[in-house]
A and B are shown apart, each in its own frame.
Chain A
């Protein structure tokens, strides 16, 4: 990176401020020649454009082009490992939803949400993660206080800032991007066939002291498969869930501008084919599970006068899901997985729909005879921005203002009916279906409206070639309504920042937010809170002793400290004492009548405040060998105070109903991040390698735990979401071992059941034996590594991402046999259960990896307490992305009047290495979520 040469002339200042940010991925830049990356560099939504080399806060950024060809609606699922300090867990793979949980630098709060803020162009927009990937200019993670203090009451968990493409002074460039491909689940549960199910179920019944249900005739029939009407053998997933689904996306964008107007317009369309095997001959309407979405965006920057700029930015997206009946995708998957293979035949001999009194949900009926529902979400985001130079007051002073209006809602329309199932023949209907009655409904789920107004001043100047100064100060009011609250939620504040650079070598930055909301306790100015941050930087390579050496081309040392806030933990109007009409609580008189009772349901905590996080960060950014190699490292420490939790100081005697949480908890969090990369070329062959590693670990300092019986019972001192429970000591071998072991207080147990350790040596197993048994379900570290290569029009990239120090509890529908409560099916891994049957020559007492079977499931209390028997290491390494592309040479392209055309083939989530193997290690729930998908894609990027 070259040093800046400061010049007095204004034009040069502009150029200097618009430093080219050479992304570390060289091939990226090449591909970006199609959509040339904007030269401005936003790291803060409020600031004037700032060069990355002058930043003193801790941020990590990638260009949008890096992830734009990856399928999927939720962009956040593609960026972990590319950015530092960012952990992402995908909760489900449902097309169009692909919900996720995100953590910037891990966990820090106890009862509130740890999710960061996502902003688009500086504005908080719900569902920002579903932005059209081709609209993204850059995605930046803001990690420390210096970069997030100015977000005030909502900045505490870090910020993900997405900037979108804007117009450029260039002739109109049209880009067309299309990709299509196949999606497949990364893992599907391995259900057993009817014969295995019956054998295992018999065994479970006998274990529970009952008698076998399936006699030898039945078992033989299941094995032979001769009589599928009376002895069915259905793999419901195989029959009704389409493993392969097809998707397509199309995007068109136009970008250009002149001296007066810059514009960017884009439109996109996505379609996912249905993932269920629907019988098309039954209905004229669609009952499949599918998704489609359409979106558009347009922004314009207009130079109204030489002194005044006007910008307008509008975007909108409509997504629509189609589903059979009224079940959601998770419920449908659950039914396909858990229905036993022998529960009923799909159709009886006489053609009627199969079923029994116990199993009334026939997947065929569920998919084809239940009607359908349509779920739509719509959003519209708009911003109008105006700025005006005030050079007549002070050179380079600009006044600006913006008004934003956002609207989001989701709507569900159902047209559904019921169906009967028939046990054996049409003479024996079962179930509660109402086949001839159609039920319609139209309901609105979440509704959200937001109005944001800003007005402020910004200034930047270079004094005497040595002092670079920039400052920004603005008033902001943000009013949100909807989301279940009857009163609007208003944030008001004064936000500002100041930057100073001396000879581009010594850097000083200050930012703050003085912000309040109606939820903050106190009166008048006490309802506002102050969040300042300061950061310093020293560019060592600007010093004489380090400049101009061939090895070290850039080195910057930086540090920051500040306070950020989080108001998520404050309950609705927690500061007010509230009475509520609870209806007729007590009847009186011979007629037993009453009036409505008003009861105090909340005691106000008058001085409730947002939670505060004191964050410090030290970082070192270095580049070597003329910027061929870069190495950045950050080390941070956070101290969380005033966390809103139940206090030990308030006994039940106080007599309050409802929560009585106050600002009393304390945590700390620390870690480090490394990012490094190398790029070089050999003749026409260009390549680059990169890697990131991010680690964080939290610690509970005060959660008002109170006295614990034994020190190892205590959660305090451990990471925030560490798993707690009993330690398991294998399975009981036989009755002698049970007699010789401490008594377990969790219900009856027998050989083959889990044996727990008696940590306090009181000869019984109960809650006093609980301790930390594993990592939490949120990984402590995430890493990524990849390579990009480019040779004569071919490009190739590879990206691996992994996590570690994470444990997952396996239980319930996906792991336990016959779950829930004996009505479900069994899986292949149950074949490794504990069993001892000398007559049948079965003895797994020493080798079993699963306890003895039971039909009690969740009611079998001995296996219920949290223990490390059910904890499995959920670390994984995934090949997230592998892509090969070919761009036609300029000559060929221009001969067909195209500026550039690139074809590519890629695969996502194609390989996963992990220890769990039964389901995708990212799925955190023990229920059945729609599986995470891997994909094989083909696409074209075209530019005119």
Chain B
């Protein structure tokens, strides 16, 4: 009998010698991920999903970032007005905050960089490419934060749970670390023709570098700050002309790859008539955003599956399934020049027939009253079909850019490619022009890059204008050229999330963004239209403190070492 007891006791002890299961079977540990080449490829590829605007370009509280500046207003009510009506505080939920999301991806990148050594079963060139991609993305994400906040705590490696009271790095430190990552990435990444569409090449790294240096050379940062207070978090503290030179050189490096070109499907020559120029120019500009194969202007594009969501989002509300989410402003419309390259102020522009013979990019970017689309004319006059219902355009215009005319959005729907341009060659040319002009002058090229500021502008305008009209007329001085470059940039890169930051870096935001957003009231009388340009679509406010977003109050309370931006 005693044996039975001993036996049963040992049986019981047996149960307790088993250890607990440490890990859930349906999940994967990081050892599993980083030893497997396929999982690593998936991990790295997934990092790109940080890039904005995959299926719907309206990602800031349901609106485009353009509605935070003078490009447009959001058609439907949206919290983006927090940025324009003066009510933003450190405790508000800033729709463009991007802080938490950025740091999640930065943590993912640093996790990847620190564990990539576990991958032994892969070619070195691929591993180099992965490292290059991660460094590029790290630079890109850091810069996205710096654009908005100024100096930020740099995520150079993974943060540890124990010590998270980390200070903000100065603006200068941030820029130099970002440039470091760009340089290393440029060395490791393959050439553009060896890289799959949607992934970063060395061209992308150099292009990002050009953008970063241009911002760093701009008046907002390349000075003693907004109110001359030399705050190292948000400026260099001094003006240094050499910064423009560095920016010019970086843009030159991208150009000298001799790979990228301004995209055209049809060349525009001097002998074409007006309607041909308008048609070819519009097509060239539209196809840029919907073509994958043979598109050598897109340096880096955010990929998306075939869809027609962009068209549905932007088609005027009078069309079935059209949502018309963005209302471009009259200011935006006025920025576009004419078919002969002149601005509307000094040309044959007629304010009673305002849409006649305009720059093809206007045709390709704006839905205006009378434009033919999807079988009929667009009606944004009072009482027109596209101004009915509870939500319709605030300004009399809708956004046409990025939409493909042949796509059908209701009934038997069709889809197309949409490539949101993260960086494209036209921006590089504009960067080059601005930097060269500010460093040396409109027509100077002391370093022998082979291209002056004026030349660069002409290349861009050649996409949509006759060669004889590509020069900007009557511009001779540096200041005049600066204005011309800014205007060209406004028109060329419209609605691509540039203008809001451009206005800030030029220190023009407090003037431009405090002006009301204008629209047009069009009235139809028999077959004629009258245009009333005095209509205020949205009142706007801008305070100096808005040059930089506030770090959210909740983040400030969790990290006591953070200092908020001035005015918040």
| CB under 8 Å from chain B, chain A span 593-621 | 594-600
State whether A516 touches B196 (Cβ < 8 A): no
Q: Which of B22, B42, B91, B557 sits near A576, CB closer than 8 Å? A: B22
A576 to B27, CA, bound (A): 10
State whether A590 touches B16 (Cβ < 8 A): no
Q: Which of B9, B27, B159, B196 sits near A588, CB closer than 8 Å? A: B196
A585 to B16, CA, bound (A): 44
User: Across the two chains, which residue of chain A brings its CB closest to B292?
Assistant: A590
Q: Which of A453, A578, A592 sits near B28, CB closer than 8 Å? A: A578
A706 to B38, CA, bound (A): 43
| CB under 8 Å from chain B, chain A span 381-404 | 388, 390, 399, 401
State whether B22 touches A518 (Cβ < 8 A): yes
Q: Which of B103, B104, B153, B305 sits near A587, CB closer than 8 Å? A: B305
**Interface size bracket, B side:** 35 or more
State whether A653 touches B103 (Cβ < 8 A): yes
> How many Å from the CB of B276 to the closest CB on chain A?
30
| CB under 8 Å from chain B, chain A span 214-238 | none
User: Across the two chains, which residue of chain A brings its CB closest to B104?
Assistant: A655
State whether A586 touches B103 (Cβ < 8 A): no
Task: For the complex, count residues of A whose C-beta is within 8 A of B.
Answer: 53
Is B144 located at the chain interface by the 8 A CB criterion?
no
State whether B22 touches A595 (Cβ < 8 A): no
Q: Which of A455, A518, A595, A648 sits near B21, CB closer than 8 Å? A: A518
Contacts of B49 in A (CB 8 A): 585-586, 597
Q: Which of A590, A652, A653 sits near B197, CB closer than 8 Å? A: A590
State whether B30 touches A586 (Cβ < 8 A): no
Bitwise interface map of B from 5 to 19 toward A, beta carbon under 8 Å scored 1, else 0: 100110011011000
> How many Å from the CB of B457 to the closest CB on chain A?
31
A706 to B556, CA, bound (A): 10
Bitwise interface map of A from 557 to 601 toward B, beta carbon under 8 Å scored 1, else 0: 000000000000000110011111110011111101011111110
Which residue, A475, A587, A706, has most C-beta atoms of chain B within 10 A? A587
Is A707 located at the chain interface by the 8 A CB criterion?
yes
> How many Å from the CB of A607 to the closest CB on chain B?
10
State whether A455 touches B46 (Cβ < 8 A): no
Contacts of A650 in B (CB 8 A): 161, 164, 558
| CB under 8 Å from chain A, chain B span 270-324 | 292-293, 303-306
**Given known contacts A592-B305, A595-B45, A653-B153, A707 and B8 CB-to-CB distance under 8 angstroms:** no
State whether B558 touches A706 (Cβ < 8 A): yes
> How many Å from the CB of B285 to the closest CB on chain A?
21
Contacts of A577 in B (CB 8 A): 29-30
**Given known contacts A453-B15, A581-B28, A586-B48, A595 and B38 CB-to-CB distance under 8 angstroms:** yes
| CB under 8 Å from chain A, chain B span 535-568 | 553-555, 557-559
State whether B111 touches A600 (Cβ < 8 A): yes
Is A306 located at the chain interface by the 8 A CB criterion?
no
State whether A654 touches B27 (Cβ < 8 A): no
Contacts of B105 in A (CB 8 A): 655
Contacts of B305 in A (CB 8 A): 587, 592
> How many Å from the CB of B293 to the closest CB on chain A?
6
Contacts of A590 in B (CB 8 A): 196-197, 292-293
**Given known contacts A590-B293, A592-B303, A597-B46, A655 and B159 CB-to-CB distance under 8 angstroms:** yes
> How many Å from the CB of A210 to the closest CB on chain B?
13
**Given known contacts A648-B557, A648-B558, A655 and B198 CB-to-CB distance under 8 angstroms:** no
| CB under 8 Å from chain A, chain B span 63-111 | 91, 99-100, 103-108, 111
State whether A578 touches B24 (Cβ < 8 A): yes
Is B239 located at the chain interface by the 8 A CB criterion?
no
**Given known contacts A492-B16, A576-B23, A654-B159, A588 and B197 CB-to-CB distance under 8 angstroms:** yes
Contacts of A792 in B (CB 8 A): none
Bitwise interface map of A from 657 to 696 toward B, beta carbon under 8 Å scored 1, else 0: 1000000000000000000000000000000000000000
Which residue, B13, B25, B26, B161, has most C-beta atoms of chain A within 10 A? B161
State whether B30 touches A579 (Cβ < 8 A): yes
> How many Å from the CB of B533 to the closest CB on chain A?
30
State whether A655 touches B45 (Cβ < 8 A): no
A475 to B24, CA, bound (A): 25
> How many Å from the CB of B414 to the closest CB on chain A?
16
State whether A597 touches B42 (Cβ < 8 A): yes
State whether B32 touches A579 (Cβ < 8 A): yes
User: Across the two chains, which residue of chain B brings its CB closest to A606?
Assistant: B161
Contacts of B104 in A (CB 8 A): 655-657
Contacts of B558 in A (CB 8 A): 648-652, 706
Is B460 located at the chain interface by the 8 A CB criterion?
no
Which residue, B27, B99, B107, B158, has most C-beta atoms of chain A within 10 A? B27
Is A490 located at the chain interface by the 8 A CB criterion?
yes
Contacts of A588 in B (CB 8 A): 45, 48, 196-199, 303
Q: Which of A516, A586, A652 sits near B100, CB closer than 8 Å? A: A652
User: Across the two chains, which residue of chain B brings its CB closest to A573?
Assistant: B24
User: Across the two chains, which residue of chain B brings its CB closest to A477?
Assistant: B15
User: Across the two chains, which residue of chain A brings its CB closest to B555?
Assistant: A651
State whether A655 touches B8 (Cβ < 8 A): no
Is B166 located at the chain interface by the 8 A CB criterion?
yes
**Given known contacts A475-B12, A516-B20, A486 and B304 CB-to-CB distance under 8 angstroms:** no
A427 to B27, CA, bound (A): 56
State whether A401 touches B27 (Cβ < 8 A): no
Is A527 located at the chain interface by the 8 A CB criterion?
yes
> How many Å from the CB of B159 to the closest CB on chain A?
5
A533 to B139, CA, bound (A): 57
User: Across the two chains, which residue of chain A brings its CB closest to B562?
Assistant: A651
User: Across the two chains, which residue of chain B brings its CB closest to A578?
Assistant: B27
State whether B45 touches A594 (Cβ < 8 A): yes
State whether B198 touches A475 (Cβ < 8 A): no
Contacts of A399 in B (CB 8 A): 5, 8
**Given known contacts A577-B29, A598-B28, A706-B558, A587 and B161 CB-to-CB distance under 8 angstroms:** no
Contacts of B38 in A (CB 8 A): 595
State whether A576 touches B24 (Cβ < 8 A): yes
Is B155 located at the chain interface by the 8 A CB criterion?
yes
Is A517 located at the chain interface by the 8 A CB criterion?
yes
A654 to B198, CA, bound (A): 28
Is A487 located at the chain interface by the 8 A CB criterion?
yes
A176 to B95, CA, bound (A): 69
> How many Å from the CB of A457 to the closest CB on chain B?
10
Bitwise interface map of B from 29 to 73 toward A, beta carbon under 8 Å scored 1, else 0: 110110000110111011111000000000000000000000000
State whether A652 touches B28 (Cβ < 8 A): no
State whether A486 touches B26 (Cβ < 8 A): yes
**Given known contacts A653-B153, A654-B107, A655-B106, A587 and B27 CB-to-CB distance under 8 angstroms:** no
Bitwise interface map of A from 460 to 498 toward B, beta carbon under 8 Å scored 1, else 0: 000000000000000101000000001110101000000
User: Across the two chains, which residue of chain A brings its CB closest to B302?
Assistant: A586
Contacts of A490 in B (CB 8 A): 20-21
A487 to B103, CA, bound (A): 32
A488 to B26, CA, bound (A): 12
A592 to B197, CA, bound (A): 8
Contacts of B47 in A (CB 8 A): 586
**Given known contacts A492-B16, A582-B46, A655 and B103 CB-to-CB distance under 8 angstroms:** yes
Q: Which 6 A-B pairs have the closest CB atoms?
A: A655-B107, A597-B46, A518-B20, A651-B558, A652-B100, A585-B46
**With A579-B32, A653-B164, A655-B105 already in contact, 13 other A-B pairs whose C-beta atoms are closer than 8 Å:** A453-B12, A492-B16, A572-B24, A585-B45, A587-B303, A597-B46, A651-B558, A652-B99, A653-B153, A655-B108, A655-B158, A656-B107, A707-B557
Contacts A/B (CB < 8 Å), 25 sampled: A475-B13, A475-B16, A486-B24, A486-B26, A492-B15, A518-B21, A576-B24, A580-B28, A581-B28, A585-B45, A585-B46, A586-B46, A587-B304, A589-B197, A589-B198, A595-B41, A600-B111, A648-B557, A652-B554, A653-B103, A653-B159, A654-B107, A654-B164, A655-B155, A707-B553
Query: B-side interface residues toward A, CB under 8 Å?
Result: 5, 8-9, 12-13, 15-16, 20-30, 32-33, 38-39, 41-43, 45-49, 91, 99-100, 103-108, 111, 153, 155, 158-159, 161, 164, 166, 196-199, 292-293, 303-306, 417, 553-555, 557-559
